[in-house]
Amino acid sequence: MTKAELRKVYLQKRKSISEAEYGQLNYQLCENFFAHVDLSFIKVLHTFIPIEEKREPNTWLIIDRIRREFPHIRLSIPKINTETGGLENFFFEGLHQLQKNIWGILEPKQGVPTESEKIDMVFVPMLTFDTKGNRVGYGKGYYDRFLSECKPSCKSVGLSLFDPIEYIENVEAHDIPLNICVTPNQAFSFQS
């Protein structure tokens, strides 16, 4: 299937997840993340803030645990710059820093900017991914542009409530594949 077709299918799949199932999938995803992803060399981790009503993976579970168990890791969060079509990133200070943008997405209203080259790991939002680490995002290209600004050693980590599909038909040269993808069932590593 093409990215556009997969986008429709997976947005619908997400919509059909019940509240109880959503909670269980996110709990398992969080447990799998900490069981399979090595954070020992991570100093700055960039995470998206989930749109829970759209059933995005709930990064708050991971954020809270990192803040408790890995206090040496600084968290960075994105803000969409509508003029440049890019992401601006800020160190996460707490809930007081967040406000909803015009699309209803929580983002920082102020803060200390995070330089892209200082980021060691990025949680990449997506709808689905394939067995080679290619992903289907929301189609705006924010994260492909952002990842291209990060240092080569930066790890891109997908978080998905669903297992991978076999392949995505229309992967393009500018699409940056994932290094790792974590699902409620397992974690996948891809050659980079």
Output 150-155 pairs: Cβ under 8 A, ≥24 positions apart: 150/116, 150/117, 150/119, 150/122, 151/116, 151/117, 151/119, 153/120, 154/119, 154/120, 154/121, 154/122, 155/120, 155/121, 155/122, 155/179, 155/180
Q: How far is 91 from 93, CA to CA, in rounded Å?
A: 6
User: Does residue 192 surpass a pLDDT of 80?
Assistant: no
How many whole angstroms separate alpha carbon 157 and alpha carbon 56?
Answer: 14
Q: What predicted TM-score, i.e. pTM, was given to this entire model?
A: 0.93
**Residue 56 marked as a ligand binder:** yes
Rounded CA-CA distance 126/36 in Å is 20
Rg of the chain on CA atoms, in Å? 16
State pLDDT tens for residues 34-86.
999 999 999 999 999 998 888 999 999 999 999 999 999 999 999 998 888 88
Query: From CA 85, how far away is CA 100, in angstroms rounded?
Result: 18
Whether 5 has a binding-site annotation, put simply, is yes
Is residue 141 annotated as involved in ligand binding? yes
**Is residue 100 annotated as involved in ligand binding?**
no
* Structural domains of the chain, with CATH: 3-189 (3.40.50.10420)
Does 7 show up as a binding residue in the annotation? yes
Helices (H), the chain: 3-15, 19-36, 59-69, 142-149
pLDDT tens, residue by residue, 90-146? 999 999 999 998 878 899 999 999 999 999 999 999 999 999 999 999 888 899 999
pLDDT value, residue 162: 97
Residue type, 48: F
User: Which 8-state DSSP code applies to residue 140?
Assistant: S
Note the pLDDT tens digit of each residue in 165-185: 999 999 988 889 999 999 999
The CA-based dihedral angle spanning residues 165, 170, 171, 173, taken in that order and rounded to the nearest 10 degrees: 170
